[in-house]
A = this chain, B = another copy of it.
Amino acid sequence: MASRRQALLLSSSNCHGYNLLEFAKAEISSFLQRNNVKDLIFIPYAQNDFDGYTTKIKNVIDQWGFTVTGLHTYPKPETAISESKAIFIGGGNTFLLLKRLYKNNLVQLMKSKIDDGSLIYIGSSAGTNVATKSIHTTNDMPIIYPPSFEAIGIVPFNINPHYIDKVENEEHKGETRDQRIAEYLEMQHAAPVLGLKEGAILHVDGSKLILKGVNGAVLFSRSQKKSEYNVGADLSFLLNEI
């Protein structure tokens, strides 16, 4: 059966020139409304201050007419996710986030529920990394060892959030973002990498993938040079090619 997945994958929650999540307000609101969702569970695992982080997100999204609750306030995370219709996983550190998702037995549970259409997903930054095939192309430092780099796998490719093609400093010899991604693409197991610029949103709707938000994306693959995509681009081919 075809996947009934529904997701909004944000490059980040912050975008230059906007308040927190403001650039994504229309997309998130209509995504939740279309799916008849009023209540959203926020998963603050990518950071350590669960209460503070949840409050920051709640203060924004509740004003849009929804009700945000932190997953950490439920006695059993597994049960809470089983019974919820929508989740938002925020950014922070991808390794820490994935470690905690595995520890709480949420990775496979989320994948099944998303595939059968009973759970819709919003992710930002690290929350977008863990939505993809694997976390191989996170920008974060590996501050804790997760049981695997494989992730929820809503889409069968990788995403690099906060994508930027500038070099840090012309006199600095550290690798650029493109060089880091090229290192990944040399691996036999490498999937294509979609670099989401800040402000970009990938809308996953069953077998359709559309680029939304206020900024575009860049696609890297083993066989081709990088290609640029603007807001509105149809990237559905990425769901079939692999």
Contacts and interface: CB of A to CB of B under 8 A. Distances in A.
A136 B175 CA distance: 18
A144 interface: yes
A1 interface: no
A138 interface: yes
A164 B175 contact: no
Q: How many copies does the complex hold?
A: 2
* A-side interface mostly: loop
Given A164-B168, A169-B164, A139 B184 contact: no
Interface string A156-190: 00000010101011011111000011011011011
A93 interface: yes
Contacts of A141: 136-139, 180-181, 183-184
Interface residues of A, number: 41
Interface stretch (A10-18, A77-85, A225-233): A10-18
A146 to B, nearest CB: 9
A145 interface: yes
Contacts of A138: 141-142
Contacts of A16: 171-173
Interface in A28-66: 48
A27 to B, nearest CB: 18
A199 to B, nearest CB: 9
Contacts of A174: 12, 139, 162, 164, 198
A153 to B, nearest CB: 15
A192 interface: no
A183 B175 CA distance: 21
Contact of A173 (B95, B136, B162, B166): B162
A87 to B, nearest CB: 22
A145 B184 CA distance: 12
A135 interface: yes
Given A14-B173, A168-B168, 11 more contacts: A139-B174, A140-B175, A140-B180, A141-B180, A141-B181, A142-B149, A143-B187, A162-B172, A162-B174, A166-B169, A173-B198
